[in-house]
Structure 1
Amino acid sequence: MGGMAGFKGFVVWVVVLSGALAERRGALEGLPMIEVSNGGPWGAWAWQEMCPEGTYATGFSIKVEAYQGLANDDTGMNGIRLHCTQGGRGDQHQDHAVESQSGMWGKWSDPIWCPPGGYLQRFSLRVERIRGGLKDNMGATNIRFACSGGENLEGHGLSWGEYGPWSPPCQKGLCGIQTKQELPRGALRDDTALNDVRFLCCNH
């Protein structure tokens, strides 16, 4: 057991270090980034993942754990993927999905796309307020995006929590993602998985 505990500690250390290095690289490169103010408090920022050169996000999908019932632990949203293409919806079969760290629970939804010629520009995050005591907390439960043509897209997440204000827009679209994840806490502990997210703006 001691060896396994040591290995898990090493993995956590690597994840934290990777996230710190990713943030440092982003800062050094001066990449513009958008975020919101209502993210959950738990977890740490993971690494950044970028769309391939010459592509940008025209769709997204989310990983959500379905409601587990009153006696079980709920985690809500566990991950977000950007689907990057060279153009509008017509390129969706050649998309490249990118994600930062994702939680272990739930299933991925099908991609939701901007209309042809459109791309993701800004977002709003739904987060459940801190419930306190021994009550079950979930962190982020859903997300919505605004496309360049003005259309709003909402993920197939959970209804708990409230949406916060919209982020500022990335005028040239979204090209990268970084998530804030709480790692699994073990048996009989309250897990929240994804708590916050921020996106890197395209510079092309």
Structure 2
Amino acid sequence: MLLSMTCTRFAAIKVRAAAMNHFISVMFSLLVFTGLQVSVEAGEKRPERSSNRHYISELTVTNGGRWGLWGHREMCPIGTYAAGFSLKVEDPVGHKDDTALNGIRLHCVDLSKSLTHSYHNYASVGSAVGSWGRWTDIKWCPSGFLTAFQLRVETNQGVGDDTAANNIRFKCSHGSLLLGDGTHWGDWGDWSHTCEGKGICGIKTRVEGPQGIGDDTALNDVRMYCCK
């Protein structure tokens, strides 16, 4: 009798264990499937930027600063082009060490999916960025894409306070000009060439890292890339 009861209990335990294992297996499968769905949906909404997108030309200017190192090239997601930009700028700090322009972001859109030019869906790309300042509001082309740029740069000040790049402005493909909210030191150089393709689709910046007790300049130069 005792042996029979023991066997019955053991069989019940095995049944409950099998049921629990089946439940865990089902839940795990659901989690994996849900995770894959989220991943796919996120990929559809926010396409991945890439440093390997093919470009047809590189835009440069002749007055960029010479300090610092070039960051990685960052490209808009395939099918999108830069229609707007924003800047990271340190406001003037008086008699202390000014750095002025610290970073540039391009904001990339697919105009075939933005008929009203409201730009609710866009991808932001940028290269190396300095340590100081705040990001300004985005400035958008009224229509079309960014196609050329001009850089405002302060030349070497010797024993004075160097700031290197201070501001940037862009031409849009339909003729509009966009001026950045940078600082006022230095002079505007010549315009870059104009994109041969559809518009600007990538960026690379030259930035000097923090110098400790030395003179900081942050962003010095920039290159843009054009795609068909």
Q: Is the TM value for this pair above 0.5?
A: yes
Alignment of 1:1-204 (within 5 A): 31-70=56-95, 72-87=96-111, 90-116=117-143, 118-133=144-159, 135-171=160-196, 172-186=198-212, 188-203=213-228
Give 1:54 shift: 0.5
Code of the residue aligned with 1:147 in structure 2: it is: C
Query: Which SS does the other structure have where 1:189 is aligned?
Result: coil
Give 1:31 shift: 4.1
Give 1:30 shift: 6.5
Match of 2:45 in 1: none
Q: Aligned pairs, how many?
A: 174
Which protein has the larger Cα radius of gyration, Structure 1 or Structure 2? 2
Distance (Å, rounded) in 2 between the aligned partners of 1:145 and 1:202: 16
Give 1:185 shift: 1.2
Give 1:91 shift: 4.4
Distance (Å, rounded) in 1 between the aligned partners of 2:120 and 2:93: 33
Distance (Å, rounded) in 2 between the aligned partners of 1:182 and 1:48: 16
Match of 2:18 in 1: none
Distance (Å, rounded) in 2 between the aligned partners of 1:169 and 1:126: 18
Give 1:160 shift: 0.7
Quick check: 81-90 or 149-158, which moved more? 81-90
Give 1:67 shift: 0.1
Give 1:123 shift: 0.2
Give 1:41 shift: 1.1
User: What do the CA deviations read for 1:17-49 (whole angstroms, capped 9, x no partner)?
Assistant: xxxxx7xx78xx664111000000101111000
Give 1:92 shift: 1.4
Give 1:201 shift: 0.5
Unaligned runs of 5+ in 2: 1-50
TM-score by length of 2: 0.73
Query: Which SS does the other structure have where 1:47 is aligned?
Result: coil
Distance (Å, rounded) in 1 between the aligned partners of 2:92 and 2:118: 34
The 8 Å contact of residues 55 and 227 in structure 2, kept in 1 or not, is answered as no
Code of the residue aligned with 2:205 in structure 1: it is: T
Match of 2:36 in 1: none
Distance (Å, rounded) in 2 between the aligned partners of 1:55 and 1:158: 30
TM-score by length of 1: 0.81
Unaligned runs of 5+ in 1: 1-21
The 8 Å contact of residues 85 and 91 in structure 1, kept in 2 or not, is answered as no
Give 1:128 shift: 0.5
Ranges of 4+ aligned residues in structure 1 off by more than 3 Å: none
